[in-house]
């Protein structure tokens, strides 16, 4: 059984370390906040100008002046701080954020990432994604292993416009986990019931297999 959205988020949450400052992208990455291990404390950054992002507010505590980068209403915590967009991206570009988790349309074997535009469709814009992948210390990318038509999304080269070049540190799909620390991506983990043959069949990128490959 491939991992569900929630299970992908749960797997990504294992990358969080105690004391980390973390930026979570929109979509599945937002769910990661639900799976932070009990013995780990992280501080969530929202790039519209907030550190120490709390959970969604109770209905009677909604405040239009308090939203996250996905424009959702949120709440503050005792350790929360607010700052300008320039300060926010200063901490992102300055390498002060330990980890970012974001979604993707395509990833290439050299770590190139494409997640902001499809030619011919209305382009909404990159928002803060290009700054995050360029500035954050470790970039964890989450996506489905294949497109809806079954074609691979983990490729030799991206054919969509890039968000960043050679920026991916870890790729988590619904089928497997790849580490980009070496010269070539390394398959380090398989989702339950997924075998090597299936990964080879559904992956265009070249990768090596970890001697410690973890099966679930």
Partner 1 sequence: MNKLKNSASEALEGVLFDGMTIMAGGFGLCGIPEYLITALRDSGVKDITVISNNCGIDDFGLGLLLQTRQIKKMISSYVGENKTFEKQYMSGELELEFNPQGTLAERCRAGGAGIPGFYTKTGVGTVIAEGKEHKEFDGVTYILETGLVADLSLVKAWKADDEGNLVYRKTARNFNPVMATAGKVTIAEVEEHVPAGNFDPDHIHTPGIYVNGFIVGTEHKKPIEIMTTREYVA
Active site residues: 47
State which residue, 71 or 148, has the beta carbon closest to partner 1: 71
Contact between 189 and 214 (Cβ < 8 Å)? yes
Give the residue among 94, 122, 87, 106 at the shortest CA–CA distance from 164: 106
The CA distance from 168 to 140, in Å, is 6
Site string for partner 1, 143-182 (x = CB under 8 A): ------------------xxxxxx----------------
State which residue, 96 or 188, has the beta carbon closest to partner 1: 96
The CA distance from 214 to 20, in Å, is 25
Beta pairing, strands 170-172 & 176-179: antiparallel
In this structure, the number of other CB atoms found within 10 A of the CB of residue 43 comes to 17
Task: Out of 7, 10, 77, 82, point to the residue binding partner 1 (CB under 8 A).
Answer: 82
* Least distance in angstroms from the C-beta of 9 to partner 1: 17
* Least distance in angstroms from the C-beta of 114 to partner 1: 9
Beta pairing, strands 43-46 & 50-53: antiparallel
* Least distance in angstroms from the C-beta of 184 to partner 1: 19
Q: What is the DSSP letter of 51?
A: E
Is residue 23 close enough to count as binding partner 1 by CB under 8 A?
no
State which residue, 35 or 89, has the beta carbon closest to partner 1: 89
Q: Which residues of this chain interact with partner 1, rule CB under 8 A?
A: 46-50, 55-59, 62-74, 76, 82-86, 88-90, 92-93, 112, 122-131, 134-135, 161-166
């Amino acid at each position: 059984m491939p991992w569900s959205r929630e299970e992908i988020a749960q797997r990504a949450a294992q990358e969080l370390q105690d004391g980390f400052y973390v930026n979570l992208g929109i979509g599945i990455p937002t769910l990661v906040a639900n799976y932070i291990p009990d013995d780990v404390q992280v501080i969530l950054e929202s790039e519209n100008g907030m550190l120490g992002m709390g959970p969604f507010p109770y209905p009677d505590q909604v405040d239009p002046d308090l939203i996250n980068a996905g424009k959702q209403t949120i709440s503050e915590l005792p350790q929360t701080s607010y700052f300008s967009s320039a300060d926010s991206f200063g901490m992102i570009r300055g390498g002060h954020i330990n980890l970012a988790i974001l979604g993707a349309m395509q990833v290439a074997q050299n770590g190139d990432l494409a997640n902001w535009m499809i030619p011919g469709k209305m382009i909404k814009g990159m928002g803060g994604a290009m700054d995050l992948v360029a500035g954050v210390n470790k970039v964890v990318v989450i996506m489905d292993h294949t497109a809806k038509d079954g074609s691979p999304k983990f490729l030799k080269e991206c054919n969509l416009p890039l968000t960043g070049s050679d920026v991916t540190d870890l790729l988590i799909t619904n089928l497997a986990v790849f580490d980009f620390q070496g010269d070539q991506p390394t398959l380090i983990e398989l989702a339950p019931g997924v075998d090597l043959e299936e990964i080879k069949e559904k992956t265009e990128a070249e990768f090596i297999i970890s001697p410690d490959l973890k099966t679930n």
